[in-house]
Chain A
Amino acid sequence: MSLTPSAIERCVDTAVSRMKGAPGPLLEILHLVQNELGCVPPDSVPLIASALNLSRAEVHGVVSFYHHFREQPAGQHTIKLCRAEACQAMNGDALAAFAAQRLGVEFGETRSDGKVTLEAVYCLGNCACAPSAMIDGQLHGRVQRETLAACAEGWGLPE
């Protein structure tokens, strides 16, 4: 998805008109934009602000408040690894260290080749099957090193 000015403009227009008349629509609009473009690009902020009669600061404030919204697109693949207590109780910390090492990327970052984004989440609600991860939108329970190693291999990441 190329984030050309016209693509951003079109996307914002569609999102705004879909939510027209809905009360408090900003979060919904940001979701629509991110679902379409893979992120909320900084260039979309003034457009959204003007459509909703808000200041750019207000829109930026909302985008930056929520962990889910991102200003740059994620990598080709995304692993959200749960770091909360129930997963910690099942060796989650060691798994997290392994994930960062094997995927070659720190939490909250995207590999420089754009292949993988690794993120921490705090609870996927799968705590009886810990540790859990959301891998490219699919929930995985009882995640082992092998689960992550298989992903890394499948995505062609060097050992």
Chain B
Amino acid sequence: MSARAVVTVFVPGDAGALSLGADAVAKELARECRHRELAIRIVRNGSRGLYWLEPLVEVSTAAGRIAYGPVRAADIAALLDAGLLDGGAHALRLGNIEGHDWLRSQQRLTAARLGVVDPSDIDDYIAHGGYAGLHAALAMPPHEIVRAVTDSGLRGRGGAAFPTGLKWQTVHDRAAAQKYIACNADEGDSGTFADRMLMEGDPFALIEGMTIAGLAVGATQGFVYLRVEYPHAGRALARALHVARERGYLGQNLRESGRDFDIAVRVGAGAYICGEETSMLESLEGRRGEVRVRPPLPAIKGLFGQPTVVNNVVTLATVPVILARGAAFYRDFGVGKSRGTVPLQLAGNVKQGGLVERAFGLTVNQLVYDYGGGTASGRPVRAVQIGGPLGAYLPPSAFDTPLEYEALSARDALLGHGGVVVFDDTVDMARMARFALAFCAIESCGKCTPCRVGSTRGVELVDRILATPGGAAADIALLDELCDTMQNGSLCGLGGLTPFPVRSALRHFAEDFG
């Protein structure tokens, strides 16, 4: 055994990296280093979000962290031969990944620690600025915490974009024996994965954000409603919650503050509708995830009838940096009424997909071409869908639109959860419109008629339009009218927003409809 110090090697444990063989890479690395009598410590970090380079292996060297990717298990021997542990030259060597244009041009506030820290190590979290927000919050009266969040301009990143501070203020102002923080981790929109990445790669940020929310509004219990499709996130959260409790960052009298707060994880069961906040509350209470009629708002009468803050993962994980750096610091990013940064998720048929966190204002063009590098198939881009299955499709002629709430709204589109899915020119937009309606039919909770019945009638209408070459004008008008009914008559966003993909497909890609 050589006298050299133990070398730290980072092999992501992120589900996306695992899906591309990261476990096999870690195993082979450990085996080969044992065989060569090289002392290493493998850290299973989160992903930095450059998914075309995953599994992205980083080695801690005197010259900083040197990255290699995409690494396959079969590459390990050759990498070690090339001096992997000293950052040696190899075709897969990428240098310091933080100097990579793709990452250097980003403004990572919410995702600052993603891929950097060991998600199971609370000391690593603290060494990278973690819990500074909580310490600041513990020195503030609750209404000032709420004011900081209000002044930051933070709006719900789950899709509804409701001002977070206003929601917190409402719960803060209610007198109740028990209040709750309910974190919506039912990230069901296709094309979105920021919640998953954060929970897997930096779970303490979510825990800290929820704790601050609890202090701000006077809630002592938090729930994370986690989708069953995210088992890796569940394990990462469970580990982090255990450590946070052991270290006194959760539980009774946390950090000797005299305040109590704890978090329980509840697992969903594969119902898209449970990402809708009132449906999620029903599900958390152990019932069918049927949407509740509002009012009352969850902030007034939420979980178990008590005042409840419902925020999604990205929103809550953004709270610590606001408290740590101040409302003005966060608010100074962004444009217009879209303050701060937004973790955009680039997916689908794209060469370089992943997580791009930037101040609001990046255009679709910049995201799809500058970051994405165009399609994975090499064919021309024909459309993007922004904001998940309920989001609008935009054609390249609209790609100059900035990805921020108001500009998208002016184009009859939504930012939603910030997912952007790229399609090449082989896409049939009538089929995509049909899929939007079919998906709504599959996932409708059944409570209101426009959604339950409208979605099925919509599928039938699209089928009829496609079966009537040239003679479908009356049915297209009828489909538009049906969209009106769904949009205005549905109880929640599922039925209410399904018309967005349908109408945008009709408007921008009329040639695909017969």
A89 touches B423 (CB 8 A): yes
A68 touches B269 (CB 8 A): yes
B85 adjacent to chain A (CB < 8 Å): no
B385 touches A85 (CB 8 A): yes
A151 to B388, CA, bound (A): 30
A82 to B353, CA, bound (A): 17
Beta-carbon contacts under 8 Å, A99-134 to B: 121-130, 132, 134
A128 touches B51 (CB 8 A): yes
Given the complex, which residues of A lie within 8 Å of B269, measured CB to CB?
A: 27, 30-31, 66-69
B271 touches A125 (CB 8 A): no
A39 to B424, CA, bound (A): 40
B188 adjacent to chain A (CB < 8 Å): yes
B286 touches A126 (CB 8 A): no
A77 adjacent to chain B (CB < 8 Å): no
A84 touches B283 (CB 8 A): no
A140 adjacent to chain B (CB < 8 Å): yes
A141 to B196, CA, bound (A): 15
Instruction: Provide the B200-222 mask, 1 if CB < 8 A to any CB of A, else 0.
Output: 00000000000000000000000
Known: A27-B266, A66-B270. A129 touches B288 (CB 8 A): no
Known: A62-B287, A67-B271, A90-B349. A124 touches B229 (CB 8 A): yes
A26 to B285, CA, bound (A): 8
B439 touches A122 (CB 8 A): yes
Given the complex, which residues of B lie within 8 Å of A86, measured CB to CB?
A: 190-191, 347-348, 419, 421
B228 adjacent to chain A (CB < 8 Å): yes
Contact of A141 among B19, B230, B270, B388 (CB under 8 A): B19
B328 adjacent to chain A (CB < 8 Å): no
A65 to B445, CA, bound (A): 8
A43 adjacent to chain B (CB < 8 Å): no
Contact of A122 among B349, B376, B421, B443 (CB under 8 A): B443
Given the complex, which residues of B lie within 8 Å of A150, measured CB to CB?
A: none
B413 adjacent to chain A (CB < 8 Å): no
A62 to B270, CA, bound (A): 12
Given the complex, which residues of B lie within 8 Å of A121, measured CB to CB?
A: 229, 270
B16 touches A85 (CB 8 A): no
A125 touches B196 (CB 8 A): yes
Given the complex, which residues of B lie within 8 Å of A24, measured CB to CB?
A: 284-287, 304
B289 adjacent to chain A (CB < 8 Å): yes
A140 touches B439 (CB 8 A): no
B54 adjacent to chain A (CB < 8 Å): yes
A36 to B304, CA, bound (A): 28
- The closest CB in chain B to the CB of A84 belongs to B190
Known: A122-B272, A129-B54. A27 touches B283 (CB 8 A): yes
Given the complex, which residues of A lie within 8 Å of B16, measured CB to CB?
A: 125-126, 128-129, 139, 141
Chain B's nearest CB lies how many Å from the CB of A125? 4
- The closest CB in chain A to the CB of B272 belongs to A122
B192 adjacent to chain A (CB < 8 Å): yes
Given the complex, which residues of A lie within 8 Å of B20, measured CB to CB?
A: 129, 141-142
Chain B's nearest CB lies how many Å from the CB of A136? 12
Chain A's nearest CB lies how many Å from the CB of B282? 9
Contact of A66 among B15, B187, B285, B289 (CB under 8 A): B289
Given the complex, which residues of A lie within 8 Å of B51, measured CB to CB?
A: 128-129
Beta-carbon contacts under 8 Å, A2-20 to B: none
B435 touches A88 (CB 8 A): yes
A153 adjacent to chain B (CB < 8 Å): no
- The closest CB in chain B to the CB of A22 belongs to B264
A30 to B427, CA, bound (A): 40
B271 touches A65 (CB 8 A): yes
- The closest CB in chain A to the CB of B288 belongs to A65
Known: A27-B266, A27-B267, A132-B19. A61 touches B345 (CB 8 A): no
B190 touches A87 (CB 8 A): yes
A85 touches B19 (CB 8 A): no
Contact of B421 among A26, A31, A69, A85 (CB under 8 A): A85
B421 touches A125 (CB 8 A): no
A129 to B424, CA, bound (A): 16
A137 to B432, CA, bound (A): 29
**Besides the contacts A82-B190, A89-B423, A127-B353, what 12 more A-B pairs have beta carbons closer than 8 Å?**
A65-B289, A68-B228, A85-B348, A85-B389, A90-B349, A123-B188, A125-B229, A127-B191, A128-B353, A139-B18, A139-B232, A141-B16
Q: Please list the 8 inter-chain residue pairs (A to B) with the smallest Cβ-Cβ separation, ordered nearest first.
A: A128-B353, A84-B190, A66-B269, A127-B347, A26-B286, A141-B19, A68-B270, A89-B348
Task: Pull 25 A–B residue pairs with CB atoms less than 8 Å apart, ordered by A.
Answer: A24-B284, A27-B268, A27-B283, A28-B267, A61-B288, A66-B289, A67-B269, A68-B268, A84-B191, A85-B389, A85-B435, A86-B191, A86-B421, A122-B188, A122-B442, A123-B188, A123-B192, A126-B193, A127-B191, A127-B193, A127-B353, A128-B16, A128-B350, A129-B54, A142-B20
